[in-house]
Structure 1
Amino acid sequence: MRLLFWNTYKNPKINDYIASIVQEKNIDILITAEYSADENELSQKLIEIGIPLTKTCNIGCNRISMWTNFINVSPATQNNHYSIQIINNEFIICGLHLPTDLHGDYSNERHLEMTSIINDVNNLSSEINSKKIILVGDMNEMPYNQGCLNADGFHGLPVLNAQDSKYRTVNGKCYKKYYNPMWNLFGNFHYPPGTYYYNNSRLHNPMWYMFDQVIISQELIPFFNNENLEIITDCYLGDLFDNKMHPNKNISDHFPIFCEILEEI
């Protein structure tokens, strides 16, 4: 299962770039945020490159769009900020785009939304008897911020093995652990050091942000292809960055991310 997520910055001419990456990476599941281009045009371009993807039902969620080549797809919870789909009766995939802090501090509201999401996917996991969970999207916060890391949020740990205990107890309550591999892409040992760049005059500003993330359940760790986790910076059409090596806002202000879940090991 090869998955691509991209916040497309409401670019009405983004479809050629999407199709280019879908072709290059042989994508099975495409998830977008802030998509405002022509869906019919995108579908036709995907057919032309030989990778026809069908849009999933996401009535009730206008911020996330999802396309896939899987036939057995059932919609679960659809919310203004997230769309949950069940694939092949076993994979629970939640595409999300959470509130931003660019116009004020919405960390509490975002954390509340994350608590709702994790409750929904955990309840659905019990309902369909599957623990194969993927959370992917624009979190609008860093992996080390409260919503992504807190036990009552996504609980996305930087280090987690398949053999580790599945829960952590805080004040007598058990919380399921998740793994966030995006921690491995931080820093300047490789380019880029994040998926979003923003420079302002505030004292606290890392400038590079890892807003776009994939977080997986512990049960998927043996199947997660760590070597293929990637922040994409170019495609067949050319670079996705500008002359300062920041995301090119003429294309999108975010870099897309790519990951792969192996069917067997």
Structure 2
Amino acid sequence: MKKNKINTYQLLVALFLLILSSCQDNSDPDLLFEDTPTVRIEKAIKELEESLQSSENGWKMTYFTDNTQLGGYTFLFDFISNSEVKMDSDFGTPDASKVSLYDITLGSTVKLTFTTKNVIHELSDGANSPDSDLVGQGYRGSFEFLYFKKEGEDILFKSNRDRDNIIRFTKATADDWTNLTTQNKAMLNDNIPNKPLKSVFRNLTIENNGQITVYDFSFNKNRRFATVTAITKDVAKKTLALEFHQHQMDLKLVQE
């Protein structure tokens, strides 16, 4: 009987030591990182702040808010401090000398928000629409961007309005700031006017493996968007979102 009591006592001690060892196991998820979640978030915010201010000539963003019905808009940002930014654009009514505010905070992830009104807000203003079909929707843009990741020197965000829309910030050059108005807007305003007699801008020719297809080219200047219908039989209708920069026009095929 005494032997059984001793064995029971030894068993209890062994169980206690086993439980104590389990409690000290460093497999807890929080302990897989050197820092606490709060510290990691603070570091991510700080790293994004420093990245945004690190580019000598700021950042360039080409923003296709909805490439099924709208074209691309180019923005330049100069983050001059932890809270102040200057911006220019080939869209809306920009003032490159204007200083507005931005903030980097934690939402569902680290979020860049342009907090005071500037030209970027004209994309998201429901009262500012390209035509009657988009009244209340505006240009379907956002002024809040969710930090996604860094890719080389580029910074990738997701639009807070459309989280499937990946937006890339690339380092801008001094020429980008000069060319934005003198070349981008000139391309839009002068080279593709809404004049039906300008036949060179009313047809689009595409060559694919030696096969040439001619399309009727219908351009919506306000939307920077084109609908092209094949004059050749048995060829699908296509829509194109347009991006303007320097002395050329980029056509981005988005739907067949």
TM-score after normalising by structure 1: 0.26
Structure of greater Rg:
2
> Which is richer in strand?
2
Higher relative contact order (CA 8 A, sep 6+): 1
Q: State the TM-score, normalized to the length of structure 2.
A: 0.26
| Structure with greater helix percent | 2
